[in-house]
Amino acid sequence: MASYCALSTVALVLHAPPPSSAPVERYVFSTAAFPLVPPSELLTPFTGKPPPTSDLPEQFRATIAKLSTLSSTLSPLRPDCSFTLVVELRDDTDVRPPIRADTPWIAAEPGLQKQRIHPDDAENEDERQTGIRKGQDLGGVKTTPVRNVESGAFVLEMWVEEGRAKFEV
């Protein structure tokens, strides 16, 4: 049975100018901690006391304020950078991507993808345990946490990754 809430992260990826177009920064908004809800339970109300929502607007305002002040702490970008918006789905095997035949679906650059591997092909213990190899540009060389927005079981995590290409001359 396929689950909904297939979204894992949304990332705004800033790329260096051509010809390299290498990722230099990733602004990551992760919903990976959201609960998986099977289709049969989509309209089922939560039991118990509902989480408070009155402070969510304040949490989002604080997040935007933090993002706006990050430019003073991050290394400067080169002129003429471009960007892409990347939507990453969960790695769970029962997650159904929300695509139709008439929907354009473009894969991210290989360095920004995770790849399922056989444990015998693992290059380190982490890969052997998870069965996943991260792309070389995921994680960056410097990560700056932004903020978590929490409401009950729902946690939205945000951080910025600065890539290798940003520091190469």
Say if residue 3's pLDDT is above 60: no
Q: What was the pLDDT predicted at 1? A: 43
Distance between CA 38 and CA 26 in Å, rounded? Answer: 30
Q: Which of 155, 162, 163 is nearest to 63 (CA)?
A: 155
Q: Average per-residue pLDDT in the chain? A: 79
For residue 83, name the pLDDT band (cuts at 50, 70, 90): very high
Distance between CA 136 and CA 28 in Å, rounded? Answer: 16
Q: Which of 11, 161, 138 is nearest to 86 (CA)?
A: 11
Distance between CA 30 and CA 139 in Å, rounded? Answer: 13
Is 126 strand, coil or helix?
helix
Say if residue 49's pLDDT is above 80: no
Whether 103 contacts 93, CB under 8 Å: no
The predicted-structure confidence for 99-142, as pLDDT tens digits, reads as follows 666 666 666 666 766 777 777 887 888 778 877 777 766 767 88
Whether 82 contacts 15, CB under 8 Å: yes
Distance between CA 156 and CA 51 in Å, rounded? Answer: 14
Whether 101 contacts 39, CB under 8 Å: no
What backbone torsions phi and psi does residue 124 show, to the nearest 5 degrees? -155, 175
Say if residue 54's pLDDT is above 80: no
Q: What was the pLDDT predicted at 52? A: 66
Say if residue 27's pLDDT is above 90: yes
Q: In what order do the strands lie in the sheet with 82-89?
A: 82-89, 7-15, 23-30, 154-162, 142-151
DSSP classification of residue 32: T
Which of 9-13, 55-59, 165-169 holds the top average pLDDT?
A: 9-13
